Amino acid sequence: MAESSGAGLPPGWIDPELATLTKDRFFDPAWMYERKFDGERCIAYRSAGGEVALMTRNRQRVNSTYPELAAALDAQQAADYVVDGEVVAFDGAATSFSRLQQRLGVRTPPESLIKSVPVVYYLFDVLRADGRDVRGEPLRDRKQILRALLSFDSPLRFTVHRSEDGRAYWEEACASGWEGLVVKRADSPYRSGRSRDWLKFKRENNQEFVIGGYTDPQGSREAFGALLIGYYDPDGRLAYAGKVGTGFDHAALAALLTSMRGLEQPRPAFETGRLPRAGVHWVRPELVAQIGFSEWTTAGELRHPRYLGLRRDKDARSVTRERPV
């Protein structure tokens, strides 16, 4: 149960537990099946007598970005807790990372934005409750502790789960267009870092990639043509994963171009892969984008990729290729 320290971190910072992608599909009552949300992972800290600190997984405080969530957590009777969850925005009945983009990184959103793009904080685990470290308790017990700890009024919601009918829940996820399910071993403790106790059943392929460049626009296209993306291989080299030229609206094109122009450099950061050479602008590998795609090609590039949004909660150096186990 590793913990980290750093400037601006709340006391007792705990690295979150992360799920592992799997290609297996199993349905076992010894596991708990939860909806996989397409949002921003956040852990909320509150020490006795202190204010809430809402933190992203890369240790950024986002109280002012989500003031309605901070206020709801501050209003809780529980005075000393650490809870884990996902901040999401909805587009109809589905969570939409693209819609959440309008709130990400906005330090002091105007009331009009808060009303037009409301967010919800789905809580699915508890690490400390009433001053007691509960990470060693089985997940099934932690879920009960969490349910009793807080009042789940909007915009705070309790993440429900299934155990006995996991197959039906997976079928519902596919029919409803959800990103997938997170499947967790019911008797497991909370372990910081990537774990096989938490698994991802994804309905479609998508993951984070590092932006390493962009191409000039063609025809009537504005701003830029395509993003050049990659990931860090096991040797720490930035590997090229292809071009992404779809999924952008006018606002995304303009905002991305502004960000990338400030990061331009003369040579590519990519160290492996067949790179384009004409009409290319290379950038420092600092921006992380969420990309959906159909599959990987044998050449190690993405087939039918599309841009979903920027990930401001992920460090570029942590981006690796997700390989199902």
Instruction: Compute CA distances 97 → 191, 289, 291, 309, whole Å.
Output: 26, 11, 11, 7
From the list 23, 36, 143, 202, the catalytic residue is 36
Asked if residues 211 and 290 have their Cβ atoms less than 8 Å apart, the reply is no
Q: How many angstroms separate the CA atoms of 109 and 255, rounded?
A: 17
Nearest to 311 by CA among 139, 119, 60, 120: 60
Q: How many angstroms separate the CA atoms of 163 and 56, rounded?
A: 29
- Residue 36: active-site member: yes
Q: What are phi and psi of 119, to 5 degrees?
A: -120, 155
Neighbouring CB atoms inside 10 A of 319's CB total: 21
- Tokens read off for 289: 């984008």
- Tokens read off for 32: 């708990």
Q: Which residues are catalytic?
A: 36
